[in-house]
A and B are shown apart, each in its own frame.
Chain A
Amino acid sequence: MSLNRSQREKFVATHITHKYNLLHILPGIEQTQLAGLYLKSFYNGVKRNQLCLPESITNGTKFCEQCGVVHIAGVNLEMQVVKRETKTSGKSGRTLQYKCTQCSAIKEFVFEAAEVSRDELQKSTKELVSEGTSAGKIKPLMENESKVKKQSSAKNRAKKRKMNSLSNMLNKKKEADASKKRSLSLNLNDFLQKS
């Protein structure tokens, strides 16, 4: 297919919206058996076109991760905030519990922690803006970054480690010495001293 850029974008938009809308029609006609298939097809379309969906769609609030039906509170979804002790910190956090009445899958969102981290992130960005780009302020921000970022930073660290190894340092020193000698040899004073 030979489409130019704008045509292709238009095609992608209609294609994806169609799939997205189909998902929303299902609860209205009370035929939700194929919702999972439709959702899969939608996600496949998204993947093929390399689109980045808003987080609200992908984090499990919009569609049931088990059966793929569109969540509609009060119709096929029961929501409740429950207190739950988190295993890692031992503190009692509040958790939002979604229960899909279609397939009775339960999904939990721990939001207290997420909220805190977001606040910290905002704070650190604010500090960054106010105090310029000192290295100390950037570091906590980097820790909060996503996995992809972490991988790249690990790579960078590995590179640095390699550069700092003893043999490398020795090589560098040797090179520096050699260049010094070469530069000296071209100097007139050196030439006179040698002679």
Chain B
Amino acid sequence: MSSLKQLQRKSAIKKQVYKPILDNPYTDEAHNWPYVQEQSLIAELVRSHVTTVLQQAPDSLDVRFGFNDVVKFLQGSPSKDDLVASPPSRVFLFVCNRDSIPSVLLAQIPILARVSRYEVVLVPLPRGFISHLDECCPANQYHDGMLLVVENSNFDIQFASQVVKRVGHVTPQPWLKFNESRIAVIASEVSLNSKSAKSSK
């Protein structure tokens, strides 16, 4: 009997988590992950256009597997030659955020997608999609439920537009707009102790 009671108490404690803090419009963490319309369709498209393609011809697309590679790619700036030749290309980041991926791994990914200099289309995938990633991932690598695809000439434009249409754009969060934020500290030369200044006069 006591264990049942403990279970109840445990669930009660879980309920008490203070959620309003995540809903506030400034940080807006409740909407970190964009909303996807017609999830099953998107999943099917990704499966047919990305994972099966990779399975059959691993070198056909410019992809990054796993946490380290994805993070390194997003953090790095496009090299200067790229900037001259073409505007920063668009990348698609497919994430299985509903499968059993450790939450610490995923915590910074939406933020990174916003901060990155690439235009990142963040696509959360439905539960269970991780098995498709298992199939197309090289054997000696971890994929961590993440797959980044760079949009290049090999990439199907139709597919890209279909995905972009259905995936809600990552909402710009005011606290991550560094350049646009209007608050700034202005260097001031007014002496702090004005009294002493007066007395010297």
Contacts and interface: CB of A to CB of B under 8 A. Distances in A.
A120 to B, nearest CB: 12
A20 B185 contact: no
Interface in A25-79: 25, 27-31, 46, 51-57, 59, 61-62, 70-75, 77-79
Interface size for chain A: under 10, 10 to 19, 20 to 34, or 35 or more residues? 35 or more
Nearest to A115: B102
B83 interface: no
Interface in B146-161: none
A187 interface: no
Given A28-B175, A111-B104, A13 B183 contact: no
A83 to B, nearest CB: 10
B181 A72 contact: no
Given A17-B20, A73-B75, A111 B185 contact: no
Main secondary structure of the interface of B (DSSP, over half): helix
Contacts of B9: 149
A57 B68 contact: no
A119 interface: yes
Nearest to A138: B3
A175 B2 CA distance: 27
B190 interface: no
A77 B108 contact: yes
Contact of B71 (A13, A27, A29, A73): A73
Interface string B1-40: 0111011011001001111111010110000000000000
A111 B17 contact: no
A46 B111 CA distance: 24
B52 interface: no
A126 to B, nearest CB: 14
A152 interface: yes
B111 to A, nearest CB: 6
A138 B175 CA distance: 45
Interface of B: 2-4, 6-7, 9-10, 13, 16-22, 24, 26-27, 66-68, 71, 74-75, 100, 102-105, 107-109, 111-112, 115-116, 142, 144, 175-178, 181, 183-185
6 contacts: A27-B178, A53-B18, A57-B21, A71-B111, A72-B176, A152-B6
Given A28-B175, A31-B185, A61-B108, 8 more contacts: A25-B183, A51-B18, A52-B16, A73-B115, A80-B71, A81-B67, A96-B105, A141-B7
